Structure 1
Amino acid sequence: MPHSPLPLAQMDLALADTRPKRVTLSPGAMLLRGFALPEASELISALHDIAKNAPFRTMMTPGGGKMSVGMTNCGALGWVTDRRGYRYTPTDPLNNQAWPPLPPAWQKLATRSAEAAGFKGFHPNACLINRYEPGTRMALHQDKDEGDFSQPIVSVSLGLPISFLWGGLKRSTSPHAILLEHGDVLVWGGKARLHYHGVKPLADGLHPVTGQVRFNLTFRFVAPTD
């Protein structure tokens, strides 16, 4: 299916951007600038449909802290956190219903993105959706609840720009900041799969598509458990 054309304003910005489209952050980690722009409108439309059935919520950490970022999920499994710990569940704890299915177009984008970054055959079964409002952030952490580190993580940015923090394999490694903008896709796997990462607090702004919000779609493959 052909991609929907970009609005003229976005086309002008894309043509004026002379930065490299692919940037290696470290071995196994690549930024694909603007890779999801052609599908951005459809991604956001589907995102709102998902949120109608599985609303964004503020989750609690095992230690009792409250996360500032709004979260929901789609796919066969969804990531949750509460006093019982971090884990993936087949049902939404708010309604005990299955999470909304992963849209086929999202699946294809994740697979294409991973392949563009050098990881063929990626077929996610979970997508964690984060909603950032001004002042919200994500502390440095590893994505290590999936049980299969041979598969990459694919992260799609929509809406307001944010400073992404890319660290190392130890929390003590000082991270460096990378600007993530609307339509950017970040992929990490292989040697980079367990690198620490996070984002700085979202700055105030107004995006023409998402308003004062940034959304992040994070695709993962979660290994089945007995």
Structure 2
Amino acid sequence: MDKTAVRNAATVIVLRDRHDDPSILMGQRGASAAFMPNKFVFPGGAVDAEDAQVPLATPLPAVCHDRLADDAPDGLQHALAAAAIRELWEETGLILGRPGTWPGDVPEDWQQFAATGHLPAADRLQFVFRALTPPGRPRRFDARFFLVDAAHIRTDIDDFTHACDELSHLQWIKLRDARSFDLPFITEVVLAEVESRVATEDPPASVPYFRNSDEASLFLRLRGHPMPETD
């Protein structure tokens, strides 16, 4: 695999106590990680081929599905939502899903999730930011950031015993204190968007897109293209 190729990715920002003293869930990447070593980040990672075939108990909100279609391959929304839920499970042990039985064979990367008796549920994910890693980095990702309220997590939000070891020092960080941690630049930018979303639980009408290409770095807005109504 060409490690310099751009890979689609999904990142999850879990927000706790949003109307009181909000916190976000973050962990620290290892010192030997090829991408953003030692940095505190949100759970997330690249989309796997099998994510597109994973059954969702509930779909993404329509407005988020629409925004994800902007400047993207057709039909990628399902895989991005599934990847977000899988990465949240793998890196934190938290479940965003609904009780249910999986039809047919379960993909290998989803077997532990399925063993909990849940199907992934995407209706509470809110697409809030998109960022393309600049050229010249050891890894490049076209990352979509999803915000979800901790109230919709099915498991104990303080129990990380089922998390893999990709992120260490998993913890709830007060939103007001997050910038005191060693963060990637793009995470600091995303934090500003999260702060603007705390007071409302509705998905955003448009989504910021920080696009870094060989030609330029641009801040764009994804506004979507509504599907025509059918009889």
TM-score (ref. length: structure 1): 0.30
Between 1 and 2, higher relative CO (CA 8 Å, sep ≥ 6) is seen in: 2
Which structure's residues are more often strand, by fraction? 1
TM-score (ref. length: structure 2): 0.30
